């Protein structure tokens, strides 16, 4: 039977909403690029911006060929571990998934590689970015997405058979996206080692400041803007009325999700502002920007299922998680120029735990059962919901860390052994822009950087 006029209009509006959300998430690539560029030294700005472009273009092809199939392909016999259908979008649309859904999920996939790129910035061979971006976007991330977001995934909160009677709630990806990218970056940074000069001969940290705070602030606000597609957009549809009310539906939950996202990021940024002021003695704009992003990362898991007051608690703790992990990183001589492992990995992990503590049953039913009044769900431990959801959240955290470690860790180690991972000390000191890309990002940089021209750099190696 042909759809009614009303059904066609509703479908069109939902498609427009999903596509617009995809466009917002893609804007985050620009935010990542600006944040990364401002956080590294000027002699590496061109390199890090190019890697962000590479993450997008390489990730697009790998996700098209393999990633979407591994994440959402069901096949005749659905596999709870990995998808087996839709390679190169064969048989899409199929009645359940269409091109707009693919585009939205693609925008998430390319964001994961961008997170990892920040951890290994300023010392990585360009060819290594091509390899790990393809593997991360096309295989490692999609498998985790299948576990949690596919209706047949073994951890999915939308599955017919809920794990521990609950499934893991990771609505927009504190674990699936951010923890995956953060743990991948952690292994890359550990295997590569710190940048030249990051720690002195006595093991004391030497500050290496990013060259442009303006770009960092610009990138932060672009990411904030994009997060309104990342979190609220994960509902997928906006015209879904809730049967137990006369005036509420997904549009209400979407608005609340945008509010919780804003509050968590704002609280985390404020706590970071004062926390770092107490620790270092001055107000640091770059630290505050990372604090804001840490709050966003943490709330991404439970953004749709918690009250606004709980989002403030989420942001408060996320700030101290980030501050604490940054202090620990210095003690362990761990060097991550973008603090990506600490921010996305640490705050992403906290986000999963937070959801297990504060998720509200009514909101879970709205997000996963379209507000059906007869549904019952395991919810936050601190709200009397039992251990089912909390246990699922902890397990998601553990299996993601394990999966990414056994896939990305060996990949980085093999690249290291093949001498394809880290650039030489001479090239690193000269800067990746001149050593790998033939020039600098800024034309006036010749005045205060050495070597002055690409031919001068070449003469150093003759």
Q: Is residue 440 part of a domain?
A: no
Q: Is residue 294 part of a domain?
A: yes
Which pLDDT score, from 0 to 100, does residue 68 have? 97
Residue 443 has pLDDT above 80, yes or no: no
181-195 burial code (b ≥16 CB/10 A, e <16): bbbbbbbbbbbbebb
What is the maximum span of the chain, computed from C-alpha positions, in angstroms? 77
Nearest of 200, 299, 222 to residue 257 by alpha carbon: 299
Q: Is residue 445 part of a domain?
A: no
pLDDT band at 358 (very low <50, low <70, confident <90, very high): very high
Instruction: Tell me, rounded to whole angstroms, the distance of Cα 14 from its chain centroid.
Output: 24
Q: Is residue 3 part of a domain?
A: no
- pTM metric for this prediction: 0.94
Q: Is residue 270 part of a domain?
A: yes
pLDDT band at 451 (very low <50, low <70, confident <90, very high): low
> How many domains does the chain fold into?
1
Which pLDDT score, from 0 to 100, does residue 462 have? 57
Q: Quick one: tokens of 135?
A: 């593997």
Which pLDDT score, from 0 to 100, does residue 455 have? 59
pLDDT band at 227 (very low <50, low <70, confident <90, very high): very high
Q: How far apart are CA 267 and CA 245, in angstroms?
A: 32
* pLDDT tens per residue across span 288-324: 999 999 999 999 999 999 999 999 999 999 999 999 9
Q: How far apart are CA 252 and CA 247, in angstroms?
A: 9
98-132 burial code (b ≥16 CB/10 A, e <16): eebbbbbbbbbbbbbbbbbbbbbbbbbbeebbebb
> 115: domain CATH number?
1.10.3430.10
Q: Is residue 302 part of a domain?
A: yes
Residue 2 has pLDDT above 80, yes or no: no
What are the backbone angles phi and psi of residue 289, rounded to the nearest 5°? -60, -45
Residue 181 has pLDDT above 90, yes or no: yes
* pLDDT tens per residue across span 92-120: 998 889 999 999 999 999 999 999 999 99
Q: Quick one: tokens of 413?
A: 């180690």
8 A C-beta contact, residue 262 and residue 312: no
Average pLDDT over residues 64-87: 91
Q: Is residue 390 part of a domain?
A: yes
Residue 71 DSSP label: H
Residue 446 has pLDDT above 80, yes or no: no
pLDDT band at 165 (very low <50, low <70, confident <90, very high): confident
Task: Give the range of the structural domain holding residue 413, as residue numbers without chain letter.
Answer: 14-422
Kindly give, in sequence order, each residue whose CB lies less than 8 Å from that of residue 262, ignoring residues fewer than 6 positions away.
none
Q: Is residue 109 part of a domain?
A: yes
Which pLDDT score, from 0 to 100, does residue 440 have? 87
Q: What is the tally of helices (H) and strands (E) in the chain?
A: 18, 0
The gap between the terminal CA atoms of the chain, to the nearest Å, is 75
Average pLDDT over residues 220-233: 97
Q: How far apart are CA 104 and CA 11, in angstroms?
A: 16
């Amino acid at each position: 039977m042909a759809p009614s006029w009303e059904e066609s209009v509703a479908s069109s509006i939902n498609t427009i909403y999903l596509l617009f959300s995809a466009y917002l998430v893609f804007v985050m690539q620009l935010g990542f690029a600006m944040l990364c560029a401002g956080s590294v030294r000027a002699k590496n700005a061109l390199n890090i911006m190019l890697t962000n472009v590479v993450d997008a273009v390489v990730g697009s092809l790998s996700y098209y060929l393999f990633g979407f199939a591994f994440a959402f392909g069901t096949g005749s016999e659905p596999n709870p571990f990995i998808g087996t259908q839709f390679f190169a979008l064969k048989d899409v649309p199929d009645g359940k998934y269409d091109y707009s859904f693919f585009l939205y999920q693609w925008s998430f996939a390319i964001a994961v590689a961008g997170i990892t790129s920040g951890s290994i910035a300023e010392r990585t061979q360009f060819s290594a970015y091509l390899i790990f971006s393809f593997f991360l976007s096309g295989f490692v991330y999609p498998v985790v997405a299948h576990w949690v977001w596919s209706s047949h995934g073994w951890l999915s909160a939308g599955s017919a058979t809920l794990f521990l009677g609950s499934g893991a709630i990771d609505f927009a990806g504190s674990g699936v996206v951010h923890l995956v990218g953060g743990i991948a970056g952690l292994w890359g940074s550990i295997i590569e080692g710190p940048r030249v000069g990051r720690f002195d001969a006595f093991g004391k940290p030497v500050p290496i400041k990013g060259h442009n705070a303006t770009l960092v602030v610009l990138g932060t606000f672009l990411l904030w803007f994009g997060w309104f597609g990342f979190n609220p957009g994960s509902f997928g549809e906006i015209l879904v009325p809730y049967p137990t009310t006369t005036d509420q539906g997904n549009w209400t939950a979407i608005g609340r999700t945008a509010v919780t996202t804003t509050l968590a990021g704002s609280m985390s940024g404020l706590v970071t502002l004062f926390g770092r002021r107490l620790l270092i003695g001055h107000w640091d704009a770059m630290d505050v920007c990372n604090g804001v992003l840490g709050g966003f990362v943490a709330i991404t898991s439970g953004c749709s299922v918690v009250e606004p007051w709980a989002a403030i608690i989420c942001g408060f703790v996320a700030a101290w998680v980030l501050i604490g992990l940054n202090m620990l990183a210095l003690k362990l001589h761990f060097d991550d120029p973008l603090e990506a492992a600490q921010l996305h990995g640490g705050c992403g992990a906290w986000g999963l735990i937070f959801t297990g503590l504060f998720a509200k049953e009514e909101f879970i039913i709205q997000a996963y059962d379209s507000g059906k009044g007869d549904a019952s769900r395991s919810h936050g431990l601190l709200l009397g919901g039992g251990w089912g959801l909390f246990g699922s959240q902890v397990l998601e955290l553990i299996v993601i860390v394990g999966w990414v470690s056994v896939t990305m860790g060996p990949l980085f180690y093999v690249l290291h052994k093949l001498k394809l991972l880290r650039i030489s000390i001479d090239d690193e000191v000269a800067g990746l822009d001149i050593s790998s890309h033939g020039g600098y990002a800024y034309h006036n940089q010749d005045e205060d950087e050495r070597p002055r021209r690409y031919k001068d750099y070449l003469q150093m190696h003759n």
